[in-house]
Amino acid sequence: MADSTASGEALVLSPLHDRHEALGAKFAEFGGWSMPLEYPSGVVKEHTAVRESVGVFDVSHLGKLMVTGPGAASYVNATLSNDLRKIHHGKAQYTLCCDPATGGIVDDLIAYLHDDTHVLLVPNAANSAEVSRRLSADAPEGVKVLDHHTQYAVLAVQGTKSDEVLDAIGFPSGHEYMSFVEAEFEDTGVVVCRTGYTGERGYELIASNEVAGSLWDRLLEAGAPFGILPCGLGARDTLRTEMGYPLHGQDIRIDVTPNQAGLGWAVGWKKDTFWGRDVLQAEKEEGPKRRLRGLLALGRGIPRPGMLVSLVPDVPLCEITSGTFSPTLKKGIGLALVPTFVDPEAELGVQVRNRREIFASTKLPFVDTSVRES
């Protein structure tokens, strides 16, 4: 299915598009897809539902790449940043696809290790084709990279009551963080992943388009006693920003390296090879010239992407890469790639419209959900 923008550019529609329309969703273009931005409940209520009870997101715009064949896992490990040998079959791992020449982040993604011959990769919507192209171009004989971007839906059940919702439909729950198990729904296999982008306890369900609609309906029905709300990308953005999770295209890009983004923990530095290894190792030893930092408003200012950040008035340092109002903290929060010569505890100014608002540099995440998410 497809829609189009005002310019006539075709947009891909989620297999759940009719459900979202029936629920009164507002739509926005994201990564070439038309996706629900918010429902009549509004971003703040959707955000709060996830933090206090449970919400369900349609994130079918995420890519789905299957790397298969003899040595598939070894090939993924030799190209992407993290060390796939650190996890076992049935586990997932956050990793990065970096440019071999510059070390810049082509995309961040999750790798699901089924076995040595089958790795599922979930990249971002806008970068899925590029990651597929790069992996396909270098793939050894016998290894195939299959792009199933539009054949599967992804539903994210996130929040403190997510286990109860999955229990109510007979799905497995309670498995280890960053692991996945197989389930069945209407005689069709569903991958139940203990992953998410909200910082709360939750699951991501990968299902074929054929059963996606009835699975969505069943989740909303089963979650009703727990106050479940359908949630759009607006709440997804406020939730992930509170956690300091970077968004590709804003906080991380092809001109931003893992060292600069504070993602060195997702790099297998002891591996012999991965794309960008040498240039990233050199930058690590020298020290990056900028680092992604959290900024917390000391006043009432709400930062937005592109707003100038300065140490002293009229001397810009950088720009806000992500910024929003935090429904949990009731304050403005933002992320920015701040030069490393700036004291990590320095207060910084952000040009919010026609005034300079003061922000404190702060360690991420802004909101600690580690106890609930484990």
Regarding whether 360 and 221 lie in a shared domain, the answer is: no
Distance between CA atoms of 136 and 69, rounded to whole angstroms?
Answer: 13
369 confidence band (pLDDT: 50, 70, 90): confident
pLDDT (tens digit per residue) in 260-299: 999 999 999 999 999 999 999 999 999 999 999 999 999 9
Q: Is residue 96 part of a domain?
A: yes
Regarding whether 178 and 226 lie in a shared domain, the answer is: yes
Contact at 8 Å (CB) between 248 and 322? no
CA-angle at 363, arms to 360 and 365, nearest 5°: 115
Q: Could you list the residue range(s) of the whole structural domain that residue 107 is in?
A: 65-147
- Domain end position, chosen among 98, 120, 147: 147
Regarding whether 113 and 70 lie in a shared domain, the answer is: yes
Q: Is residue 188 part of a domain?
A: yes
Regarding whether 106 and 87 lie in a shared domain, the answer is: yes
Q: Is residue 258 part of a domain?
A: no
Classify strands 229-231 and 55-58 as parallel, antiparallel or unpaired. parallel
| pLDDT > 90 fraction of the chain, expressed in percent and rounded | 94
Regarding whether 187 and 47 lie in a shared domain, the answer is: yes
Q: Is residue 259 part of a domain?
A: no
pLDDT at 158: 98
Regarding whether 303 and 368 lie in a shared domain, the answer is: yes
Task: Give start and end residues of each alpha helix (H) in the chain.
Answer: 17-22, 43-52, 72-79, 128-138, 162-168, 209-223, 233-243, 277-286, 370-373
Regarding whether 309 and 182 lie in a shared domain, the answer is: no
Q: Which two structure tokens, joined as six digits, stand for 25?
A: 């969703």
Q: Compute the average pLDDT of residues 180-184.
A: 97
pLDDT (tens digit per residue) in 305-322: 999 999 989 889 999 999
Q: Compute the average pLDDT of residues 338-359.
A: 96
Task: Give start and end residues of each alpha helix (H) in 188-318.
Answer: 209-223, 233-243, 277-286
372 confidence band (pLDDT: 50, 70, 90): low
Q: Is residue 282 part of a domain?
A: no
Q: Compute the average pLDDT of residues 346-360.
A: 96
The pLDDT of residue 360 is above 70? yes
**Bridge-partner residues for 16, per DSSP?**
none
The pLDDT of residue 238 is above 70? yes
Find the CATH number of the domain harbouring 306: 2.40.30.110
pLDDT at 147: 97
Regarding whether 71 and 22 lie in a shared domain, the answer is: no
pLDDT at 1: 41
pLDDT at 314: 84
pLDDT at 6: 46
pLDDT (tens digit per residue) in 112-168: 999 999 999 999 999 999 999 999 999 999 999 999 999 999 999 999 999 999 999
Regarding whether 55 and 155 lie in a shared domain, the answer is: yes
pLDDT (tens digit per residue) in 65-77: 999 999 999 999 9
Q: Is residue 260 part of a domain?
A: no
Count the domains in the chain: 3
Strand order across the 118-122 sheet: 91-98, 105-115, 118-122, 65-68, 144-147
Regarding whether 132 and 26 lie in a shared domain, the answer is: no
Find the CATH number of the domain harbouring 165: 3.30.1360.120
Regarding whether 175 and 41 lie in a shared domain, the answer is: yes
Instruction: Say what the pTM is.
Output: 0.95
- Domain end position, chosen among 225, 243, 261: 243
Q: Is residue 104 part of a domain?
A: yes
pLDDT (tens digit per residue) in 321-347: 999 999 999 999 999 999 999 999 999
Regarding whether 357 and 235 lie in a shared domain, the answer is: no
Q: Is residue 22 part of a domain?
A: yes
- Domain end position, chosen among 184, 214, 243: 243
pLDDT at 2: 43
Find the CATH number of the domain harbouring 126: 3.30.70.1400
